[in-house]
Amino acid sequence: MRYYATASGPLVRDAMRAGQLGMIATPAAGNTVPDGVDWCADNSCFTPGRYPGDEKYLAWLARHAAHAARCAFATAPDVVGDAAATLARSVPMLPRVRAAGYRAALVAQDGLEHQPVPWDLTDALFLGGTTAWKLSSAAAALAAEARARGLFVHMGRVNSLSRMRYAASIGCHSVDGTHLTYGPRRKLPELLGWLQTLTRETIAPDDLHSTQ
């Protein structure tokens, strides 16, 4: 599983350049994407007032086009906790994100299970929404549907090993979180340890025997 983190200091950026972590970049953060680093693009809608607007967001993506091949996805704008409002906002933007050279991600919000999902416009499903909904059977079913369609699946706001385990169990390819934002010197080894633990737990017994 890939963990996309904010670029919180030189130790974290070194881990990104070494391939141990990916980077989550947003227009609001203003960080540049280093050469050779795996990353994803989020829209800043989670924080009120930080989304720059559709045209400025697309311009921001265009400025990072040289790194688009290493970008797992770029989210279309969403409305936190409201699937219907998110679809009204996202559906016109998903093709435009694709046209900018990125894999377009729909941010799944509370109630998406009751809405028509625009799968044909979507390259990735980003599990957002409230914590209760994100951990619900409805969200897990949407993740399974996305996987069955060959789409990339990501979960946002993951800041513990137990949450990473859950994300892996429902088929997420990657997660992001703010675990490293405060105290990266102490928390980076902890997070890398979680990733190693998860890797060991997801290796099948036959795979273990084949490496001996």
DSSP collapsed to 3 states, the chain: CEEEECCCCHHHHHHHHCCCCEEEECCCCCCCCCCCCCEEECCCCCCCCCCCCHHHHHHHHHHCHHHHHHEEEEECCCCCCCHHHHHHHHCCCHHHHHHCCCCEEEEECCCHHHCCCCHHHCCEEEECCCHHHHCCHHHHHHHHHHHHCCCEEEECCCCCHHHHHHHHHCCCCEEEECCCCCCHHHHHHHHHHHHHHHHHHHCCHHHHHHCC
2-210: CATH superfamily: Phosphoenolpyruvate-binding domains (3.20.20.60)
Question: What gap in Å lies between CA 49 and CA 68, rounded to an integer?
Answer: 26
d(CA 43, CA 47): 10
Give 26: exposed, middle or buried? Use CB within 10 Å, 0-12, 13-18, 19+: buried
| pLDDT tens, position by position, 32-80 | 899 999 999 999 999 999 999 999 999 999 999 999 999 999 999 999 9
- Rounded alpha-carbon distances, angstroms, from residue 11 to 21, 105, 143, 174, 177: 11, 29, 33, 21, 17
Give residue 209's pLDDT band: very low, low, confident or very high (50, 70, 90): very low
Q: How many residues does the chain have?
A: 212
The predicted pLDDT at position 202 comes to: 82
From the list 20, 6, 3, 2, the residue with the least C-alpha distance to 182 is 6
Domain locations in the chain?
2-210
pLDDT in tens, 90-143: 999 999 999 999 999 999 999 999 999 999 999 999 999 999 999 999 999 999
pLDDT (0 to 100) of residue 31: 81
Q: How many CB atoms lie within 10 A of CB 145?
A: 16
Q: pLDDT confidence of 30, banded at 50, 70, 90?
A: confident
Rounded mean pLDDT of 188-200? 97
What is the value of pTM for the model shown? 0.94
The closest of 36, 42, 52 to 156, measured between CA atoms, is 42
Sign of CA dihedral 168, 12, 197, 194: negative
Closest to 79 (Cα-Cα) out of 56, 47, 101: 47
